[in-house]
Chains A and B, each alone.
Chain A
Amino acid sequence: KAGVTQTPRYLIKTRGQQVTLSCSPISGHRSVSWYQQTPGQGLQFLFEYFSETQRNKGNFPGRFSGRQFSNSRSEMNVSTLELGDSALYLCASSLGGDRETQYFGPGTRLLVL
């Protein structure tokens, strides 16, 4: 099976712009979670989508949003980018049950200038 894929792999934006990141889960997986990884804060949970519905949400401002499509692919959007949004954004897919193994993609490296 193909693993989790994320596009693009690298992105450079300027403050105030918005960005959309894409994640394709492993075939058959219905849950997609998004995480932000930074040197200072480590890995932080953003939100999780299951069957096109946001099922869980972390402590991030409303500028961070997401959605999931009927084929389980997911997108994450960040509006009004700030310098502090520079990070590696990881998505992970799983079958969807509690405590199921989450399989991570390679991430999208976002740099905000």
Chain B
Amino acid sequence: QQQVKQSPQSLIVQKGGISIINCAYENTAFDYFPWYQQFPGKGPALLIAIRPDVSEKKEGRFTISFNKSAKQFSLHIMDSQPGDSATYFCAATTGTALIFGKGTTLSVSS
């Protein structure tokens, strides 16, 4: 009930391509879904977040798509750049305790 399942585990994308990471959840009480980006040696940093009352949120090259009925949400990175190479975590929460997916390691090749 508390799990957030994330896929794929790793992803290789050409520079300029679209990176897509998917997450699914079971607990319908979750009402806030942030995505975090983590570089080696650093703590995770908030990238973008969405609430279930909207189906899509875009910030620059990053877009979250949210499907409440399917209990799924995804991160799209448009025009992927080598600087986007990092580990991405989806998360869900009902308040303050973040429940994270296992992470996706993205490599953008130039």
Contact = CB atoms under 8 A, between A and B. Distances in A.
Nearest to B101: A42
A56 B96 contact: yes
Contacts of A64: none
Q: Main SS of the interface on chain A? A: strand
A45 B99 contact: yes
Interface residues of A, number: 27
A4 B44 CA distance: 12
Contact of B43 (A58, A90, A98): A90
A31 B96 contact: yes
Contacts of A1: none
B96 A101 contact: no
A45 B42 CA distance: 18
B9 to A, nearest CB: 11
Given A42-B101, A42-B102, A56 B95 contact: yes
B41 interface: yes
A98 B96 contact: yes
A104 B43 contact: yes
B45 interface: yes
A33 interface: yes
A75 interface: no
Contacts of A78: none
Given A42-B101, A99-B32, A90 B96 contact: no
Interface in A55-113: 55-56, 58, 90, 92, 94, 96, 98-107
Interface in B69-101: 89, 93-101
Contacts of B54: none
A43 interface: yes
B45 A33 contact: no
Contacts of A48: 96-97
Contact of A45 (B32, B97, B101): B97
B50 to A, nearest CB: 11
Given A42-B100, A42-B102, A99-B32, A90 B44 contact: yes
